[in-house]
Structure 1
């Protein structure tokens, strides 16, 4: 039987477009891959009206409730599970998540472990049982992140982790580039920033998943640690692995290191493809 296609899930603010270069590299290695949009992102993204209203009102943008505020982990997992069933046709599939896509991958694998051949976390949240992702940036391992300073407005009021990728201020553009694309060549980073959505549902970071040995803990997993990451610091990525291995010592995490920033899918797509094709499939 031919290798099952690899399913790729983006993180916050990105879409399936983020994986285009990895898909090309995988194809060159004889592996098929399909990128799917995270709920409320890509083709499912909905921006607040103030984001495109002209003249731009910064105050309105900082306070307008988000149209995606109520989309949580179950809704996002529903969408991913549906895509996996359609793509796999009953086969177990390897799945890769980036950044906050990891929390959604975790919820989906806990609910439907039989859909997954292997879980890959690329600089992704891999939260411990009953632990919301929002907890992690305030931990000592996460405090050096440059992501939280990008937020606009009060997430409790807007219902979103809102950023402003359309802000022409060079300092804002520089801050986004340093947080997400530190080692991506500047023209490519600018093109990626232009495609970012502005709202990520706060529900996804305040909800948690109870992990079990028969659910998520039963699926083989690999963590791809990006050692120069300024959004999810390497120390925090290491914590995810140690927590998972302590909870499920009979199913330990394989770890691969890449000397890249948060967005290895743009700065080192060949290396990402190498890990996905050379690592254990479970």
Structure 2
């Protein structure tokens, strides 16, 4: 079976897969988690995040140090890693949340690198539609993420969370949005590892999908039915749009009774799903 390459979503890093990888490897499947551009070891924190005293005005206005990271940049970075990891052979890419558009771009441009495209409660935008458009559809109206954002993304170049605020209610809202079914101590630890800025350019980019590109790649969508960040109705819309556009290559669907972060709430069960993928 092909190597699993695990890609995190916005504000996270490769660390979020640390509970999943041991289960996958123990089952005999090679797996590696990588950082997306502008995240993890390539994350850059704005000045307001560490400066004292805390400046709420700067939170909403300071241009992000990752504002120049585009969908192209993220795709090029991940493509280089896939080539290195696969050694010329295709790999199975598991994209969580906002890593979905990056996987879509890669599968369209270099389908020979992707043995299986797996979207874990991830954005899977239709042809020529930016991922950000799905945050504005009726099905997304009750997402808990949008109320957490600070500043105008068009001005600051990022989707920004304010982890410097001392407001305990805000931190509870973050945990509820991403980790509602995660053990509270683990959820608090994970929230402490999140970075404040994710590049809005990844969500603004679009990809033209074709039958011999993305439409030719085997794909699976893992629906998380208790997700309060990327709501289940939005997830099912992605699947419906993909299957309408490429009916000869329908999406395989797996359902988990999980929140937005099953890699923390049910790592063993998620690993079982992933290792079973061909």
What TM-score do you get using the length of structure 1 for normalisation?
0.97
Gaps of 5+ in 1: none
The 5-angstrom pairing of residues 103-182 of structure 1 reads 103-182=101-180
The 8 Å contact of residues 97 and 105 in structure 1, kept in 2 or not, is answered as yes
| Aligned match of 2:214 | 216
> What pairs with 1:80-99 in structure 2 (closer than 5 Å)?
80-99=78-97
Aligned residue in 1 for 2:3: 5
Q: Is the 8 A contact 1:96 1:121 kept in 2?
A: yes
Describe how 1:248-267 pairs up with structure 2 within 5 A.
248-267=246-265
> Could you tell me whether the CA contact under 8 Å between 2:49 and 2:163 is conserved in 1?
no
Q: Once the 2 structures are TM-superposed, how far is the Cα of residue 233 of structure 1 from its aligned partner?
A: 0.4
Match of 1:50 in 2: 48
Q: C-alpha distance in 2, partners of 1:104/1:92?
A: 16
Q: Does 1:72 align with 2:70?
A: yes
Q: Which residue pairs with 1:197 in the alignment? A: 195
Partner Cα separation in structure 2 for residue 224 and residue 168 of structure 1: 35
| TM-fit CA distance, 1:194 | 0.5
Are the counterparts in 2 of residues 165 and 176 from structure 1 also a CA contact under 8 Å? no
After superposing the two structures, state which structure 1 stretch, 163-172 or 31-40, moved more: 163-172
In structure 2, stretches of 5+ residues that fail to align are none
**Once superposed, what is the RMSD of the aligned Cα atoms?**
0.9
Query: Aligned with 2:32: secondary structure?
Result: strand
SS in 1 for 2:198: strand
Q: Which residue of 1 aligns with 2:98?
A: 100
Aligned length: 278
- Per-residue deviation, 1:55: 1.3
Deviation at 1:165, TM superposition (A): 2.5
**Quick one: which of 208, 213, 225 aligns to 1:227?**
225
By how many angstroms is 1:93 displaced? 0.4
**DSSP-derived class of the 1:141 partner:** helix
